[in-house]
Amino acid sequence: MVRRRLGRTDFRVAPIALGTTKLGRNTDVKYPASFDLPSEQEVACLFETALALGINLIDTAPAYGNSEARLGKVLQGHRQEIVLCSKAGEQYRNGRSVYDFSAAGVSASVEASLRRLKTDYIDILLLHSDGRDVEILTQTAALDALDKLKASGTIRALGISAKTPAGIREAARRCDVVMAPFSQRESALGDALAEAHENGLGILAIKGLFSGHLEANSAIEFVLRHSFIDALVIGTVNPAHLEAAVKIAERRR
């Protein structure tokens, strides 16, 4: 796969990225069918398949159960090959999401992620929005905390996993990367994402298959035909799904 620069960052990423929600969490998710969490061997196989296919961006989050801890095990010996993206602001505890966008909360979350991931830096750190994108970006100290972590080298790029056009446009003022849902079924953020990309932000699309409710071939082609999408994050525990997505991407780019 041909890699492209992710906005104004120094990262070059493949058009397909690996999302890891299913590595660590199978409750309160929106997939059409229930699923078991993969074994350690299956996690290792998925990771090795991703590397072999040329996938180099992996997305995780504290809210994805024990996804970070499981990734931390397989990342050893491969850290330099991976653009690692995680998040702060949301934790999933006792069956519900808990949000904390205070400076102390964000900093503590990142420190905990570093320990679980067994690394001393995270390439991309996104605020895990609860839908109040603009408020989080402008009325909390979350971005200030990320700025300090970036200045210290603990993170290399910062941004938000956004849910609103206004949030995406606000992110263009201070962020490096925006992650947002974009699909055939859910394309309302397209104009804001295109503007953000024009302003130098890296754009990561999620939910391109609408949480598994869309046919994969046409869904992936739809997302990747939009030039403002730098990479589509595919959440799966099935190596065959990654292989199929990469084949589609190679036809598109």
Exposure of 136 by Cβ count < 10 A (0-12 exposed, 13-18 middle, 19+ buried)?
Answer: buried
**H or E segment to which residue 91 belongs:** strand 90-93
Q: What b/e sequence results for 68-97 when a residue is b if at least 16 CB atoms lie within 10 Å of its CB, and e otherwise?
A: bbbbbebbeeeeeebbbbbbbbbbbeeeee
Q: Is 98 left (phi over 0), alpha (psi -120 to 50) or beta?
A: beta
Instruction: Please tell me the predicted confidence (pLDDT) of residue 213.
Output: 65
pLDDT, tens digit, 9 for 90 and up, residues 192-225: 999 999 999 999 999 999 877 678 899 999 999 9
Instruction: Please tell me the predicted confidence (pLDDT) of residue 95.
Output: 85
Q: Is the pLDDT of residue 228 over 70?
A: yes
Residue 202, classed as helix, strand or coil, is strand
Nearest to 23 by CA among 1, 42, 49: 42
Mean confidence (pLDDT) of the chain: 96
Identify the bridge partners of residue 47 per DSSP, sorted by sequence position: none
Give mean pLDDT, residues 230-246.
96
Instruction: Please tell me the predicted confidence (pLDDT) of residue 33.
Output: 76
Catalytic-labelled residue, pool 64, 92, 99, 121: 64
Give the span between the Cα atoms of 102 and 97, in whole angstroms: 16
Give the span between the Cα atoms of 80 and 89, in whole angstroms: 26
Give mean pLDDT, residues 238-252.
94
- Of 185 and 133, the one with more pLDDT: 133
- Of 81 and 94, the one with more pLDDT: 81
Fold of the 4-252 domain: TIM Barrel (3.20.20)
Please give the structure tokens belonging to residue 99.
């949000």
pLDDT, tens digit, 9 for 90 and up, residues 119-168: 999 999 999 999 999 999 999 999 999 999 999 999 999 999 999 999 99
Give the span between the Cα atoms of 32 and 15, in whole angstroms: 25
In one letter, which amino acid is 105?
Answer: G
Q: Where are the domains of the chain?
A: 4-252
Cβ(40)–Cβ(66) below 8 Å: no
Instruction: Please tell me the predicted confidence (pLDDT) of residue 32.
Output: 79
- Give 253's pLDDT tier (boundaries 50, 70, 90): low
Instruction: Please tell me the predicted confidence (pLDDT) of residue 129.
Output: 98
Residue 204, classed as helix, strand or coil, is strand
Instruction: Please tell me the predicted confidence (pLDDT) of residue 99.
Output: 98
C-alpha gyration radius of the chain: 17
Instruction: Verify whether residue 121 is a known catalytic residue.
Output: no
Give mean pLDDT, residues 90-103.
94
Nearest to 55 by CA among 252, 244, 242, 204: 242
pLDDT, tens digit, 9 for 90 and up, residues 3-40: 999 999 999 999 999 999 999 998 888 787 788 999 99
pLDDT, tens digit, 9 for 90 and up, residues 59-80: 999 999 999 999 999 999 999 9
Please give the structure tokens belonging to residue 113.
């992620």
Nearest to 59 by CA among 19, 24, 109, 87: 19
